[in-house]
Amino acid sequence: MQEDKVVYTKPYGVTVTLQPQNETRTLKARSVRQLLNIIKASPATVLVIRNNELLTSDRKLSHGDEIIVRTVVSSG
Amino acid sequence: MKCKVCKATAVVSLPSHNTGFCADCFMSFYERSVERSIRRQKLFTFEDKILIALSGGKDSLACALVLKKLGYNVHGLHIDLAIPDSSAAARGVVERFCDSHDIPLIIKKMEEEGLQIPRVKKVLSRSVCSACGRIKRYFFNKVAIDEGFTVLATGHNLDDEIARLFSNTLRWDIPHLSDQGPLLEAENGFARKVRPLFRLTEFENANYAFLNDLEYHYAPCPYSPGATSTAYKKLWNQLEEEMPGRKLAFYTAFLAHGREPFRQFEKEEGTKPVPCERCGYPTSVGICGVCRTRDAVAADE
Ligand SMILES: [Zn+2]
Ligand SMILES: [Zn+2]
């Protein structure tokens, strides 16, 4: 995937949907860890989902990715 | 990050175990962990007839699914609280889950019991949450005993257990410290109660539910502005992030060294439950809280 390198030097956007609130934002993040830092979520309290696949914090993100961040802490 | 077992790309990272897993290896890790908890704590056997309380949330559904996969004899129980904009959705989730996993389901409707939560809320001066919790526990126990189940299981996870233990410890609440744990033997009109997911965090359950394509109900209760346990869970998640493994260590050390002294003390000093004068189910004295609530709702008609 040669294109990856090009993407990282361009203006950059990942669409993030926060659940359960169902708010959507576009952020500049190159990895899941960066994304979680921006939205101030701890990796152990959310599921990060891309194309129905779970991502760990070290995974890279690309321009145009659609990510779901689902909070797992329940209310009781 | 690579899967610890097969070196494929990891999808779940578990700092408390200092490891990560791919989907298949995580599911075996999870199932083996539950199996080991059941065996080590002697929670139940394949001969037991297990009733599991299903709220429709990820933890109770994950619990039912893993017990079913491990080959245990499980039946579901759902309490329909009759809360507008919430109960119908939760019940639908539970019905579809039991249907697709071939788990027999008992539904107990609070409307038919004269205990629908909106009416209960109306007759109470304080928050409805504690009454609602009491009603649910009452029917879990009653159905388990009336229908001849040998075990009542709930989906409480490590985070629930830690939040409760922490809260009990902050108050040095001896009666509650004496009977907290993954197993409560049947006695004094109470069914044998087990919590097979006590070693697994909410995060691990959410991952297990996701990887098994479980549809679950996660809308918060419209009456609950957020339980106090949420603050304890937040605190413990911060601690766990700095000191991975602390939750499980705190809890298992309590089971090993903390619980027994409280149990002994409570045995000597505590009060024993007696049958409710009205319904016969255990209470501290006279008529139980659920019977009194039912009376209050009926009187309000
Ligand atoms: Zn693997
Ligand atoms: Zn009663």
* Sequence spans of domains, chain B: 34-217+239-267
Measure Cα distances from A32 to A17, A25, A45, B49, B249 in Å: 13, 15, 14, 44, 29
Which one, of B106, B112, B109, lies nearest residue B146 by Cα?
A: B106
| CB atoms B224 and A55 under 8 Å | no
Question: How many angstroms away from the CA of B205 is the closest CA of chain A?
Answer: 9
Distance B284 CA to ligand 1 centre (A): 51
For A58, which residue in chain B has the nearest alpha carbon? B1
| CB atoms A75 and B221 under 8 Å | yes
Measure Cα distances from B26 to A73, B23, B34, B133, B208 in Å: 20, 5, 12, 33, 8
| CB atoms A58 and B1 under 8 Å | yes
Question: Could you give the CA distance from residue B132 to residue B37 in angstroms, rounded to a whole number?
Answer: 29
> Looking at the DSSP assignment, which residues form a beta bridge with residue B73?
B49
pTM (two decimals)? 0.92
| CB atoms A75 and B224 under 8 Å | yes
Over the stretch B27-67, which tens digit does the pLDDT of each residue have? Answer: 999 999 999 999 999 999 999 999 999 999 999 999 999 99
Question: How many angstroms away from the CA of A67 is the closest CA of chain B?
Answer: 14
Mutate to test the interface with A, among B25, B203, B228 (most CBs of A within 10 A): B203
Mutate to test the interface with B, among A42, A60, A74 (most CBs of B within 10 A): A74
Q: Is the pLDDT of residue B163 over 80?
A: yes
A53-54 and A46-50 strand pairing: antiparallel
User: B166 or A2: which carries more pLDDT confidence?
Assistant: B166
Over the stretch A2-24, which tens digit does the pLDDT of each residue have? Answer: 555 555 544 569 999 999 889 99
ipTM over 0.90: no
Q: Would you call B59 an interface residue with chain A, using a CB distance cutoff of 8 Å?
A: yes
Question: What's the mean pLDDT in B84-97?
Answer: 94
| CB atoms B241 and A58 under 8 Å | no
Q: Is the pLDDT of residue A42 over 50?
A: yes
Mean pLDDT of chain B: 94
Any binding-site annotation on B288? yes
Give Cβ neighbours of residue A36 (< 8 Å, ≥ 6 apart).
Answer: A42, A43, A46, A48, A57, A69
Looking at residue B227, its pLDDT comes to 65
Question: How many angstroms away from the CA of B77 is the closest CA of chain A?
Answer: 18
Where does residue B5 rank: exposed (0-12), middle (13-18), buried (19+ CB within 10 A)? Answer: middle
| CB atoms A75 and B11 under 8 Å | no
Question: Omega into A20 within 30° of 0, i.e. cis?
Answer: yes
Looking at residue A75, its pLDDT comes to 47
Q: Is the pLDDT of residue A38 over 90?
A: yes
Amino acid occupying residue B77: L
Q: Is the pLDDT of residue A49 over 70?
A: yes
Q: Residue A56: its chain B contacts at CB < 8 A?
A: 1, 10-13, 20
Question: What count of other Cβ atoms lies within 10 Å of the Cβ of residue B220?
Answer: 14
Domain spanning B34-217+239-267 has what CATH number? 3.40.50.620
Give Cβ neighbours of residue A47 (< 8 Å, ≥ 6 apart).
Answer: A54, A68, A69, A70, A72, B206, B207, B210
Measure Cα distances from B3 to B25, B66, B107, B164 in Å: 8, 21, 41, 33
Q: Residue B12: its chain A contacts at CB < 8 A?
A: 54, 56
Cβ atoms of B184 and B249 within 8 Å: the answer is no
Measure Cα distances from B242 to B14, B237, B247 in Å: 13, 9, 11
For A46, which residue in chain B has the nearest alpha carbon? B203
Any binding-site annotation on B155? yes
Looking at residue B225, its pLDDT comes to 64
Q: What percent of chain B has pLDDT over 90?
A: 83
Distance B84 CA to ligand 2 centre (A): 26
> Looking at the DSSP assignment, which residues form a beta bridge with residue B151?
B50
Question: Could you give the CA distance from residue B93 to residue B86 in angstroms, rounded to a whole number?
Answer: 11
Q: Would you call B167 an interface residue with chain A, using a CB distance cutoff of 8 Å?
A: no
Q: Could you say which of B10, B206, B226 has the minimum Cβ distance to residue A72?
A: B206
Q: Would you call A6 an interface residue with chain B, using a CB distance cutoff of 8 Å?
A: no
Q: Residue A20: its chain B contacts at CB < 8 A?
A: 218-219
Q: Which of B109-118, B216-225, B236-245 has the lowest mean pLDDT?
A: B216-225
